[in-house]
Amino acid sequence: MVPTTDLLPLAIAVPLLGAVVLVVVGRWLPRPAIDALVTVWAVLEVGCLAWLWLRTGDGHSVSWLGGWSPVRGESVGIVLVGDRIGVGLALLTGALVLAVVVYSWRYFDEPPEAHAGTFPALILLFEAGMVGFALTGDLFDAFVFFELMGAVAYALTGYRIEDPRPVQGALVFGVVNSLGAYCSLLGIGLVYARTGELGLAQIGVQLARHRPDVLLSAAFVLIVTGLLVKAAVVPLHFWLPDAHSVAPTPVCMLLSGVMVELGVYGTARVYWVVFSGPHGITHAHLRAVFVAAGVLTALVGAVMCWQQRHLKRLLAFSTVGHVGLFLAGTALLTPAATAGTALYVAAHAGVKAALFATTGVLLDRYGSVDEHGLYRRGRDLPFVGALFAVGGLGLAGLPPFGTALGKAVAEHAGEDEFPWLPAVFVLVSALTGGAVLRAATRIFAGAGPRPRDQYAGTETTGGGEEPEIRDPQRRVPVPMLVVPAVLLAAALAVGLLPGLGAALAHAARQFTDRTAYTTAAIHGHTVAPSTPVPDVGWSAEGVLLALASTVLAVLLAMAAVWGPALRSPAVGRATAVCDGVGRRVIVPLRRLHSGHLGDYVAWLAVGMAVLLVVMAV
Amino acid sequence: MTMLPFLAAGWIFLAGVYGMVTSRDIIHAVGCLAVTQSSTYVLLLTVGYRRGGIAPYFTDTPLRTRTVDPVVQALALTDVVVGATVTALLLALAIQIRKRHGTVDPDALTGLKG
C-alpha cells in the first residue's frame, strides 16, 4: 500500500520516468510498441491521480519531499500540497493526455525516422510539468514546473519544423511566455526578500505580519503577470492564437484544454494562499480588477472568434473567450463561483479537445482548416460533422452539458454583485458556439451560399496547411473518431453526474479557505472551512440562461450562413450597420493581432504597467 | 541595504524589453530575452547578499561564520539552467525560421495575422 505522502511525488515522477524510458527505447521499438507503451503509461498516471483524488477526500494531501518535515512550523524543505481542485486539475490533465495519446496512435504516421519515441516522450514531459504545477505548494517550484511545461509546449508547438508557420508560432509563444515567467521570478525574488520563505503557506503567514505597501503590490503583479500570460488574459493573450493555430492537433487539445486554464488556477491559488490574508490585497480590490480583466478577455476572445475562418484559430480565440469567463468566475472569490468555474473548466476541456480532434480529421482529409475553402467538402463525413456540431452546441452551453451547469452556477454566484455578468456569459458562449456551428453548417451540410471574403486586411486563412499525415486516401482511423465522441460524452457526464458537482462544491470550499490550506501545509492539522458548502445543482434560472445562449448561438450561425442570401431592405440595413461597426471596431482589433513579436512584447509591458497601477492605488 | 542593485535589476529588465520591442532580428530578440533574464540573477543575488558574508561553504570555516544566503544562489543556478534550455530551444527555432522563411526579421514574418 502506497501512503498518500508518496502518491503526490509519484504522480509527478511517473510521467517523467515514462518520458525517459520512451526516449531511450524509442530508437529500437517499432511504432505500435511505442504507442502501446505510452498508452500504458498514461493509464498508469490516470490511475495514480484517481487514487490520489480518492485519498485526498475533502481535505489536503501534504508531502514534504525528502522527509524535511517542519519542526515547530519552520522548515527548509519543499512541499507538495494537493486539495481536490489541484488534484482534480491534475486528473483532468491525465485524462486529456490519455485521450491525446490514443488519438495520436495513427495520427503521426511520419515520426522522425530515428526517433519515433520523441513525440510521446514530449507529451509525457508536458504532463509532468502540468501535474507538478497543479500539485506544488512552493512558489519557486511552481516557477520551475511552469517553465518545464512552457519549454515542452514550445517544442511541441514547433514539432513540425519543416513547416514555416509552426516555427514562427512556437518562437512567439516561447519568447512571450518566457518573458512572463521571468516577471514571475522577479516577483518571487521580491517576496523572498520580504519574507525569507518560498512555500506558499509560509509566505502567506509571514506577509500577514507586514503592513501592505508598494512592494507587496509590485510582487503580486509581477508574479501573476507570468500566470496571466499563460492564461492568455487580454492584452497578454496575443501569443495564444498564433501558437494554437499552428501546433499539431493533439498538442492543441492539451494547450487549450488544460494548460491555459492552469494559468487561471495558479493566479487564484497564489492570491488565496499568499496575498489574501490580513494586510494583504483586499477581496473587493482583487474582485473589481480581475472581473474587469476577465470580462474584457471574454469579449475580445468572443468577437475575434466570430471573425475567424481558420478553424484552429477560431477555436483558439474561443479558448481566449472562455478563459476570460473562468478568470471572472474565480475572481468572484466565492466558493460557489469557484465550484462553478471548476465544473466549467472540466466540461470545456472535453468539448474543446473534441472540437480540435474533429478539426484534425478535416486537416487529415483535406489538408485545409479554412472554413471558406472547405465549404461543402465535408458532406461525405456525416459522423464527423455531427461531432463537430454537438461540440459547438456544448461550447454554447446546451443543457445538460457540464459547460451549461458550470456556467449557470458561476452566473448565479456573480449576479448579486454584478447584475450584468450573466449577460456576458450568455453572449460569449453564444458567439463562440455560434462560430463553430456556422463553420459546421457550411462545411458539413454545405448550406447557404458560398461564403465570400469580407475582411480587407491580411488574415490567416487556414488554406494550404500541410496535412499532418501521409495518406489522405485511407479511411479515417477509428481512434480519431472514438476519442472526440468519448470526450463529448465526458463533457456531458460532468453535467449529469451529481456526485462530481458535490465533490467540487466541497473542494471549492477548501480552495477558498486560506486557513485550512495553511494549517494543513505547515502543521498537518485539518481545519474544517468556516463557509457553508455551496449549492451547485441545476436551477430553472440556469437552464433558461443556458438555453438562451444555445438558441442565440443557433440564430447567429443561421444569420451568418443564410443571411447573405436573403434579399430585403431590412437585411440590407442590418448588413450596413454591421459593416460600419466592423470598420470602426473590429478591423482595428484584428490589426492589433499583427503576428509581430515586438508588438506582443510591448503589449505585455503595457498590460503589466496597467495592472501595477490599478493594484497599487 | 541600498536600493541601487534593485534599480539596476529593473533597468536591465527594461533594457531587455526595449530591445525585444524594437528588434529587427530574431536572434537579437532571443539575446534580449536572455538580458531580461539576467535581471533576475541580479535581483536574486542582491536579495541574498550580506555585507562581509563569504560563500556558504562550511568545510573549513566555523559554523558561525557570516555567509551570504545559499537559497537564492540555488534559485539563481536553477534559473540559469532554465534559461539555457529556453534560449537553446528558441535559437534552434530561429534557425528553422531562417531556413523556412528566408529571413530573421520579425517585420517580414507575416504568416499569422488577424
In a mutagenesis test of the B interface, which of A68, A141, A186 is the best target, namely the one with the most B β-carbons within 10 Å? A186
Whether residue B113 has pLDDT greater than 80: no
Distance from the A512 Cα atom to the nearest Cα atom in chain B, whole angstroms: 29
In a mutagenesis test of the B interface, which of A118, A182, A223, A592 is the best target, namely the one with the most B β-carbons within 10 Å? A182
Distance from the A431 Cα atom to the nearest Cα atom in chain B, whole angstroms: 17
Distance from the A172 Cα atom to the nearest Cα atom in chain B, whole angstroms: 9
Q: Which residues of B touch A198 (CB under 8 A)?
A: 71
Q: Is residue A279 part of a domain?
A: yes
Inter-chain CB proximity B20 and A457 less than 8 Å: no
Q: Which pLDDT belongs to residue A466? A: 59
Q: Which pLDDT belongs to residue A321? A: 95
Nearest-CB residue to B93 (from A144, A150, A174): A174
Inter-chain CB proximity A598 and B82 less than 8 Å: no
Instruction: Confirm or reject contact between B26 and chain A (CB < 8 A).
Output: yes
Q: Which residues of A touch B71 (CB under 8 A)?
A: 192, 198
Report the alpha-carbon distance of residue A277 to residue B105 in Å, rounded.
Answer: 47
Q: What is the chain A residue with the closest CA to B79?
A: A144
Q: Is residue A133 part of a domain?
A: no
Q: Which residues of B touch A246 (CB under 8 A)?
A: 112
Alpha helices in A104-248 (DSSP H): 118-135, 139-157, 164-195, 200-207, 214-230, 239-244
Q: Which pLDDT belongs to residue A371? A: 84
Report the alpha-carbon distance of residue A328 to residue A296 in Å, rounded.
Answer: 10
Q: Is residue A105 part of a domain?
A: no
How many beta-carbon pairs under 8 angstroms link A with B? 141
Question: Which residue type occupies A311?
Answer: L
Task: Count CB neighbours of A282 within 10 A.
Answer: 12
Q: Is residue A372 part of a domain?
A: yes
Q: Which pLDDT belongs to residue A113? A: 56
Q: How many domains, chain A?
A: 1
Q: Which residues of A touch B89 (CB under 8 A)?
A: 151, 154-155, 174
Instruction: Confirm or reject contact between B12 and chain A (CB < 8 A).
Output: no
Inter-chain CB proximity A198 and B13 less than 8 Å: no
Q: Which residues of A touch B17 (CB under 8 A)?
A: 179, 601, 605
Alpha helices in B23-104 (DSSP H): 26-48, 70-101
Whether the CA torsion A299, A303, A304, A310 is positive or negative: it is positive
Inter-chain CB proximity B71 and A174 less than 8 Å: no
Tell me the DSSP string of A115-132.
Answer: -TTHHHHHHHHHHHHHHH
Inter-chain CB proximity A597 and B22 less than 8 Å: no
Q: Which of residues 88-107 of B touch A (CB under 8 A)?
A: 89-90, 93-94, 96-97, 100-101, 106-107
Inter-chain CB proximity A198 and B71 less than 8 Å: yes
Report the alpha-carbon distance of residue B86 to residue A180 in Å, rounded.
Answer: 13
**ipTM summary value:** 0.95
* A472: containing domain: 168-616
Taking the alpha carbons at both ends of chain B, their separation in whole angstroms is 49
Q: Which pLDDT belongs to residue B65? A: 84
Question: Measured in whole angstroms, how far is the alpha carbon of residue A228 from the centre of its chain?
Answer: 12
What does the block give as the cell for A529?
472551512
Distance from the B73 Cα atom to the nearest Cα atom in chain A, whole angstroms: 11
Q: Which pLDDT belongs to residue A461? A: 67
Q: Is residue A65 part of a domain?
A: no
Spatial CA neighbour of A335 closest among A50, A61, A58, A5: A58
pLDDT tens-digit series, residues A103-115: 988 766 555 555 7
Q: Is residue A93 part of a domain?
A: no
Q: What is the chain B residue with the closest CA to A179?
A: B33
What does the block give as the cell for B7?
534599480
Kindly list the structural domains of chain B, giving each domain's residue range(s) and its CATH number in brackets, ordered by start: 4-108 (1.10.287.3510)
Q: Are A325 and A409 in contact (CB under 8 A)?
A: no
Distances (CA, A) of A183 to A212, A241, A339, A606, B16: 21, 22, 29, 13, 12
Inter-chain CB proximity A150 and B17 less than 8 Å: no
Q: Is residue A492 part of a domain?
A: yes
| Residue ranges of chain A whose pLDDT lies below 70 | 107-114, 453-474
pLDDT tens-digit series, residues A341-400: 999 999 999 999 999 999 988 888 888 888 888 888 888 888 999 999 999 999 999 988
Q: What is the chain B residue with the closest CA to A591?
A: B114
Nearest-CB residue to A458 (from B21, B97, B113): B113
Inter-chain CB proximity B114 and A179 less than 8 Å: no
Inter-chain CB proximity B101 and A601 less than 8 Å: no
Distance from the B39 Cα atom to the nearest Cα atom in chain A, whole angstroms: 8
Report the pLDDT averaged over residues B54-68: 83
